[in-house]
Structure 1
Amino acid sequence: MTRLDPARLEFAAPGDRYADYCLWDYEPLGPTAGRLRQSTLLWHSLAAAGAHPRLFAICDALRAGLGPGHSVWGAKLRGGVTTWEFYFYDYARLERSVSIERVLAILAPFAPCGLHYAGARPYFMFSLDLDDALARGERGLDRLNVYLGNPGSSVSSGLCYGLTAQGLVLDNLYSFFETATEREAIVAKAACSAHLDLPGLDLDAILWPELMRCGVVVVANKRFCDGVYFSRIDVDGLLYFLDRLAYPAAIRDFVRAERRRLSHLLFDLGIDYAVVDGKLTVTKSAYYGLL
């Protein structure tokens, strides 16, 4: 762990954007003067993980190249190791200005990428993973995740394809539900899994009651596991999530110490889960914010 540079404590300013991990805007929960931006949690997660300095520089370049509030970060914890995924949206699709080519050009001085995806295809989002190996030059950008809509479904949903040098593979189906009005559908979707035995399944171990007061639940069907995402959670829900999953003490202590200065924000949280040695287990988790 390295100490967070005080200059990375970013304070809210007039004109700041407030949006969830789908870049859907929301009104802050209270006064913003003297409060922190979500980007502060990104800088803190990098510092807490002892991330390579070039990762900070990459994040700075993304924000400078796209503008503040135009990309989403996720700090992902798996097996005690933190990595970061960045998400780039443009709902204009074929008329997009935030394209794969534009982002890869921003990242080119830091990490080469030999992947290409046709701009004539109607993707509305893509993402990529950053870690110390990439920052040290030990690997390039060897995978992109490309997201498309799923017209014709009665449930709002999207498809994720993984793009590598070997080609394009369908990875995930994401289904979106309004928590207040679609609880039965959420339960039915979570229970209908290729990875879980239905008899005896404890759905509270997946749909955590403490987080089911969120605005939107997303259930993800994936190749090797399933996932659930709780969108628009307040800072107390974030703290519950971090504590329950035993995030590093430095992360939990920072959020707890800055609770008041984060209380105007909404957060997005996610878990992947599978049966491991006969027990339902969270295999990966993440919290998200705006850069």
Structure 2
Amino acid sequence: MAHEPTTSAPDWLAPLAPTERPFDYCLLPYEPPASPDHKLPSAWALARTHALGGATGPAAGAMVGALREALGPGRTVWGAKLDATSGELSWELYFYRNPHQHPDLSVARVAAALAPWLRVRVPSRELPPWLMFSVAFDRAALAGPGEGELTVYVAEGNLAYRYAGDEVELRNHYLFLDPRGQIEQVLTRLRHLVHASVSGPALATLLPPGPMREARHICCAAKRHHDAIYFSRVRGPQLVAELRRLGWPPELLADLEAAAPRLDHLLWDYGYDVRRVDGALAFERSGFYGYF
């Protein structure tokens, strides 16, 4: 049976109104495939990962509430991540700036909202023009409070940089493509990546047929030690099948399947980091995404 929000659950876990407008992991709205009326928010799945990942203290939920109060509802994307080697779960929060809608967004404002539970070092140097930034953390950081890892995605060049105070490191070079009309560009991009340049049966493990049919966008990224593939807007059964393939906890998969009738208004985003190990392709990290 799915874990239901209780009557004392916070507002970010409350059943949705029929007018709810869902967002993907780029904080872009989409037409829900079913009515959201009295359905579960995607943050319900986030709360389940908190419980399964050992973030059982008040910090994880309190951070969600604080960000909704500081920024407003529907302005934060969450990602839950699984390390395939250790089995540990971690999380990342993403903040998008639309100058016409959210000119007030800044690293300093988010850092202030998170300060009681997580330290975010705000760079003293001026940031280049940026589209978004993220703050990553794990269970140990929440227990500290520890420090969140800040990554800034600049406005031009599809580049992301990690900031540790004023220390800067290139982390990610990414490209969004539409698999429905740009499959050749997707394959060309993969051929020019170090780890993901595979063919034959291995290619089907990187680009599974199900997600390829459903995804609205695919993101191909080159990172420091991995390549990464992300799929945007797949349906719930496809997400569960992929999380099962990637080794996510059976308890979470059972919860998602049990709650499927109350999650059918959502489309999901997910992805994975891959690396060549002794000539074979290793899926070392994966994640899925929602919003609150």
TM-score, structure 1 length as denominator? 0.90
Pairing 1:24–2:28 present: yes
Pairing 1:280–2:284 present: no
What is the rounded CA distance, in whole Å, between the counterparts of 1:261 and 1:199 in structure 2? 38
What is the rounded CA distance, in whole Å, between the counterparts of 1:269 and 1:217 in structure 2? 10
Task: Verify the 8 A CA contact 2:74 2:291 in the aligned structure 1.
Answer: yes
Question: The residue matched to 1:212 in structure 2 has which SS?
Answer: helix
Match of 1:238? 239
Q: Give the counterpart letter for 2:278 in structure 1.
A: D
Q: 1:260 to 1:199 in 2, by over 3 A?
A: closer
What is the rounded CA distance, in whole Å, between the counterparts of 1:180 and 1:201 in structure 2? 21
What is the rounded CA distance, in whole Å, between the counterparts of 1:256 and 1:231 in structure 2? 20
Residue in structure 1 matching 2:93, options 86, 94, 98: 86
How many residue pairs align between the two structures? Answer: 282
- 1:57-90 CA-to-partner distances (Å, cap 9, x unmatched) read 1222112211111000000000311000000001
Higher deviation after alignment, 4-13 or 203-212 = 4-13
What is the rounded CA distance, in whole Å, between the counterparts of 2:198 and 2:268 in structure 1? 30
Task: Verify the 8 A CA contact 2:190 2:197 in the aligned structure 1.
Answer: no
Task: Report the CA distance between 1:50 and its aligned residue.
Answer: 2.4
Q: 1:104 to 1:81 in 2, by over 3 A?
A: same
Match of 1:107? 114
Residue in structure 2 matching 1:56, options 49, 61, 70: 61
Q: 1:196 to 1:248 in 2, by over 3 A?
A: closer
Task: Report the CA distance between 1:260 and its aligned residue.
Answer: 1.1
Q: 1:19 to 1:117 in 2, by over 3 A?
A: farther
Match of 1:74? 79
What is the rounded CA distance, in whole Å, between the counterparts of 2:258 and 2:18 in structure 1? 24
Identity among equivalent pairs (%): 35
TM-score, structure 2 length as denominator? 0.89
Q: 1:198 to 1:251 in 2, by over 3 A?
A: closer
Q: 1:111 to 1:279 in 2, by over 3 A?
A: same
Q: Give the counterpart letter for 1:61 in structure 2.
A: A
What is the rounded CA distance, in whole Å, between the counterparts of 2:232 and 2:154 in structure 1? 20
